[in-house]
Structure 1
Amino acid sequence: MADVPGVFELERLAARTWRGLEEERHGEWLLRAGGGFTGRANSVLVAGDPPSDLPTAVAAVTRWYAERGLRPRAQVPLPGAEAADAALAEAGWTREDDNLVLTASLAGWAEPSVPVEFAPEPDDAWLSGYLYRGAPLPAVASAVLVNADDPVFAAVRTSPPPAPLSAVARGAVADGWLVVTAVTVDEGSRRRGLATAVMAALGSWARDRGGHSCLLQVAGTNTGALALYERLRFTEHHRYHYRLGPEPERSAG
């Protein structure tokens, strides 16, 4: 595999492939807001140094999200952001969602075992097939999903409409890295190798565009996904978790 960037560099690369609908720099931190859809699109990435001392920066972040009616959230990559994590904890921000960042070379991946279709935008069938945290997508999801440089939306259909898609996933390439998100297999189509097929197809798509490596993020509790990625020779690069700040005050009336 090509040289793997450091923790902050890799997080910044991944952030380019899954953006908020609004983004703003705060020193080396990246503020992101996306209508509340996904932690990544609605959190400050604390990679590097803010423009002030940490307590002042935490207060500024809190105000930024409150102005948008969002609960403040911070994405905290480790190792590297220990000081910021301590400052957030000191300010009363609670910890949740421990995630692993995995990387692998795209070399040697098998060809997909079933046909996989690609589209530059998600259609209604794809959006129905992607269950974020097990729930249907909010209206803002489509805008967040396409807000990257040339993302691709992969789909497997094993039964004709109106049957749902059997599997979906999203890919985007940045600096030779394929970043895979939204891998979802329909409950009635599991244990048939469809997630492996989607990953294989995305790997081939990325290699055709100069891709050499793959990056993805997975919840530490998702044992099924971790087993799949281990078979594809992914290894852990680092971890991150979220910190949640106070709920924004709601005006009465």
Structure 2
Amino acid sequence: MGQSRSPLDVAGLELLATRGWRGGDEAPLGEWLLRAGGGFTGRANSALVVGDPGMPLPDAVDAVTRWYTDRGLRPCAMLPGRQSRAADAAFAAAGWERDEDVLVLTGPLTPAPADGVPVDLSPEPGDAWLAGYRHRGRPLPPTARAVLVNADDVVFASVRLDPPPAPLAAVARGVVTDGWLGVAAVTVEERYRRQGLATAVMAALQRWGAGHGAHWVYLQVSASNAPARALYRQAGLIEHHRYHYRYAPA
């Protein structure tokens, strides 16, 4: 689905994206990658299921369960694309619960000129940025900052339209890895919505990415998030593949 237009296949893109959003603790399980980051986000706290785990799938499910249980985390697996179907069936057979689809969108980097919205770019997320990013609608846990800054070439975009103590109007995070710009954490404060701010921070991140050697852009969006999907479609991003999480029985 759109994959021929991207220079990376599903496994290649997911492994690249892993380097842009890292937990602090990683270990291989064959070609799978186990990741833990204090419980903040599924992406940093799940087994990335690509390739061969080097053992029968039921044994791999057990190994994933033990690794996360040892770290006090609910075991979680991230299952991208058609290549993970057999593993998905093994997790399902063990009673793991399936979450909704997430779309991975990609496109060539197309930096637009600045449109007058004041977008600030910083190498660190300040307190106002951290307060402005709502992950799944919730405030960030204390472990979030360590995950957010744990990348080689990362930037934090923010838009302030009213002076403090008013919140930031919009925030987003960008990271460049091997010529790819990863966009995440795009959040617009409710009172500032429908003013083009998400488009403005996306454009600012693309300009930043172009200056850091990026030629392609990727991001993830929940299948149920219709407004964001429409925004990214207008930005020329198309579906590369989908993934979903499975969680061990509570």
Fold shared per TM-score above 0.5: yes
Which interval holds the TM-score relative to the shorter structure?
A: over 0.9
Aligned length: 247
1:66-101 deviations in Å (ceiling 9; x for gaps): 101111000000121111101111111110131000
Give the 3 Å change call, closer, same or farther, for CA 3–99 of structure 1 in structure 2: closer
In structure 1, C-alpha distance between the alignment counterparts of 2:153 and 2:85, rounded to whole Å = 34
- 1:45–1:75 Cα contact (<8 Å) kept: yes
Deviation at 1:3, TM superposition (A): 4.4
1:143 aligns with 2:181: no
- Structure 1 alignment gaps of length 5 or more: 248-253
Where does residue 50 of structure 2 map in the other structure?
47
Deviation at 1:108, TM superposition (A): 5.4
1:183-225 deviations in Å (ceiling 9; x for gaps): 0000000000000000000000000111111100000000110
1:60 aligns with 2:63: yes
Amino acid at match of 1:133: R
- Sequence identity percentage: 61
Deviation at 1:34, TM superposition (A): 0.9
Give the 3 Å change call, closer, same or farther, for CA 217–3 of structure 1 in structure 2: closer
In structure 1, C-alpha distance between the alignment counterparts of 2:192 and 2:75, rounded to whole Å = 37
- 2:132–2:170 Cα contact (<8 Å) kept: yes
Structure 1 residue aligned with 2:13, among 2, 10, 14? 10
Where does residue 107 of structure 2 map in the other structure?
104
Where does residue 250 of structure 1 map in the other structure?
none
In structure 1, C-alpha distance between the alignment counterparts of 2:73 and 2:165, rounded to whole Å = 37
1:91 aligns with 2:94: yes
Where does residue 160 of structure 1 map in the other structure?
163
Amino acid at match of 1:134: G
Structure 1 residue aligned with 2:26, among 9, 23, 30? 23
TM-score by length of 2: 0.96
Cα RMSD after superposing both structures: 1.3
TM-score by length of 1: 0.95
Secondary structure of the residue that 1:143 maps to in structure 2?
A: helix
Amino acid at match of 1:28: E
- Structure 2 alignment gaps of length 5 or more: none
In structure 1, C-alpha distance between the alignment counterparts of 2:177 and 2:36, rounded to whole Å = 21
